[in-house]
Amino acid sequence: MTYRILAPLLLLASCAATTASLHQEGPKGPTRYGLELQAYPAGVVAAARLERSLSHDEVVSFRIAWNETDRSDWGEHDNEEGGGYGAGIGYSRWLGGERSGWFWGGQLDLWQLDIDWRQNTPASQGQTDVTVLQPVLQAGWSSASDGGWRTDWTASIGAEINIDTSGQDVGEGLIFLLGVRLTR
């Protein structure tokens, strides 16, 4: 099975599992909507997100996002930059309950990136279309404010895995992200 087929199947299976979990019995709160911003050494991710409660201290989330990157010479070439859209699912669990204080979780994103690259020696340039699977572990701190808003400060560590590439290879590997989420 090729990666081009495997990646969408993984995303669909994850969405099916998420949908099934939304129908479990137990205490559920409202669906929440929000925005998310994450920064990493080579770029930034801006997302719209939806959260659904699984219990008083657990949520499952879905996001659609844009990933803008400028890897400079951290990739396979002397300069790599570009961006693209993606979607992902996540899970968060609060240690103190009631969705405030410390939490942990994970996120699985699938990105479709267009990367323009340049090589100085020998002089060459080109474009690579790459599908990236990005699993991360996440930890953070939440606080609620008046008006029903919740702010989550996050730190994530994981991997960027190029699963399908059209063009020359481009950078992949370890990723560390810092972020903020606002939901209501």
Q: Which domains does the chain have, with CATH numbers?
A: 3-92+99-183 (2.40.160.20)
Are the C-beta atoms of 170 and 75 separated by less than 8 Å?
yes
Distance separating alpha carbons of residues 122 and 40, to the nearest angstrom: 29
Instruction: Give this prediction's pTM.
Output: 0.85
**Distance from C-alpha of 36 to C-alpha of 99, rounded to nearest angstrom:** 17
Which is it for the CA torsion 183, 109, 131, 45, positive or negative?
positive
Burial (CB < 10 A; 0-12, 13-18, 19+), residue 55, is: middle
Residues 6+ apart with CB under 8 A from 25: none
The one-digit pLDDT tens for each residue of the chain (184 residues) are 455 555 555 555 555 455 444 444 445 677 999 999 999 999 999 999 999 999 989 999 999 999 999 988 888 989 999 999 999 999 999 998 778 899 999 999 999 999 999 999 999 999 999 999 999 999 999 998 888 899 999 999 999 999 999 999 999 999 999 999 999 9
Question: How far is residue 83 CA from its own chain's centroid?
Answer: 14
Neighbours of 170 (CB within 10 A): 25
Q: Report the alpha-carbon distance of residue 54 to residue 26 in Å, rounded.
A: 7
Whether 164 and 124 have beta carbons less than 8 Å apart is answered as: no
